[in-house]
Chains A and B, each alone.
Chain A
Amino acid sequence: MEKEELSSLQLDALREVGNIGAGHAATALSGLLNRPVDMAVPEARLVPIFDLAELYGAAESLICAVLIRAEGDFSCNLVFMMEEDKSQELADLLVGSFCCDDEEMLYQLRDSALSEVGNIVLGAFVNSLSAFTGFSLPVSVPAIAHDMLGALLDVVVAIYGISGDMALMVQTSLSVKGLDGELSGQILMVPDPGKLPILLGKLGVL
């Protein structure tokens, strides 16, 4: 981001991007799980990069995160993250009935199912962004990580840090009734340095 400030009109437009993207992501997740999925009102705001991680929780809390990269007209990284124990409940929902003696294989199967959830959710988000803007946005395969929140968000903070000390937080959360309470996950859209004006221009709010 070149600018350390965005107008409320620009933030509204970005919130709408989050809204449409998350709507599609929720529909896709609902189809995959065959359960209703709710979405929270999306947020778009600027926060100091040094405070970003703690807005999501304690630095050492365990998180499962899936990242995909969109290249093309508007390059960005997209992250879908959920609490580690919630991600394991989600894996139970998807492949819990699958029995196997080989623990390593079972672990890989669960991880692969979670990667696919991230892929479907973030893919739906990107597709709607592409349809909405006319941008061509080919995406990478998903990368999954299970680790401490602070460590996982370091790279997001570093990407924003290249061009300034503020981060644009476009985030939405999805929740689904799980086996045990509610499962919720968050979507973050992280434009590459210098690329945000391309999106704002296309949205007519540059």
Chain B
Amino acid sequence: MKPQAVHVGMAELAALRHPALLVTLGLGSCIGLVLYDEGSRIAGLVHIMLPDSRQSKSETKPGKFADTALPALLDELSKLGATRSRLKAKMAGGAQMFNLPGSGQGLLAVGNRNIEATTALLAKLKIPLVASDTGGNKGRSIEFSTDNWVLTVKTLGKGVQML
């Protein structure tokens, strides 16, 4: 039986047991990060918007910032019984949709900063990033299935990649 797709909106996260299909549509500068434990057959997806919660002044959804999203997702995964040391990561997103000359550093380049922050956090937490499709200037739709632990990335004009 094919599981119903669970759509993970902006700044949201979801952790599920097999069989599960986690989906995020239309990622631009945001990051879709999947953490999974094949042994316990558990996977989670978080839709990260910004790199760093220290710039935020108010309480918000933990999935919004990379540095709060990872601990929150780890929490949900361990509640389901995932083993921390078995977790692997796959991610996609972080595009810069509008390329103005000189915009490689500014607000429009938030995608790059999201990639850097997420990658650095994974390294710090010693979670191996086994596959990723990030950067560039095209949007992506992604889905992750616990049938084969594959992250499917659809990019306009570039077709479908299986990671």
Interface string of A187-206 (1 = CB under 8 A from B): 00000110000000000000
Contact of B29 (CB < 8 Å), options: A49, A53, A158, A163? A158
Number of A-B contacts (CB under 8 A): 114
Q: Which residue of A lies closest to B7 (CB)?
A: A59
B contact residues around A60 at 8 Å (CB)? 25-26, 141
**How far apart are the CA atoms of A140 and B107 in the complex, in Å?**
14
Contact: A192 with B10, CB < 8 Å? no
Q: Give the contacts of A130-185 with B (CB-CB under 8 A).
A: 140-141, 143, 145-155, 157-159, 161-165
Q: Which residue of A lies closest to B138 (CB)?
A: A147
Q: Which residue of B lies closest to A142 (CB)?
A: B100
Taking chain B's interface residues, is the majority helix, strand, or loop, or is none over half, making it mixed?
A: loop
Contact: B97 with A154, CB < 8 Å? yes
Contact: B56 with A59, CB < 8 Å? no
Contact of B50 (CB < 8 Å), options: A77, A141, A143, A161? A161
**How far apart are the CA atoms of A193 and B108 in the complex, in Å?**
12
B44 touches A (CB below 8 Å) = no
A110 touches B (CB below 8 Å) = no
Interface string of A69-89 (1 = CB under 8 A from B): 100000001000000000000
Interface residues of chain B, those whose CB is within 8 Å of chain A, are 9-11, 25-30, 49-50, 55-58, 60-61, 64, 95-101, 103, 107-108, 110-111, 137-141, 156
Interface residues of chain A, those whose CB is within 8 Å of chain B, are 2, 4, 49-50, 53, 59-60, 62, 65, 67-69, 77, 140-141, 143, 145-155, 157-159, 161-165, 192-193
| 11 A–B pairs (Cβ distance < 8 Å), ordered by A | A59-B141, A65-B97, A67-B100, A69-B108, A140-B100, A152-B28, A153-B28, A155-B110, A158-B50, A161-B64, A164-B58
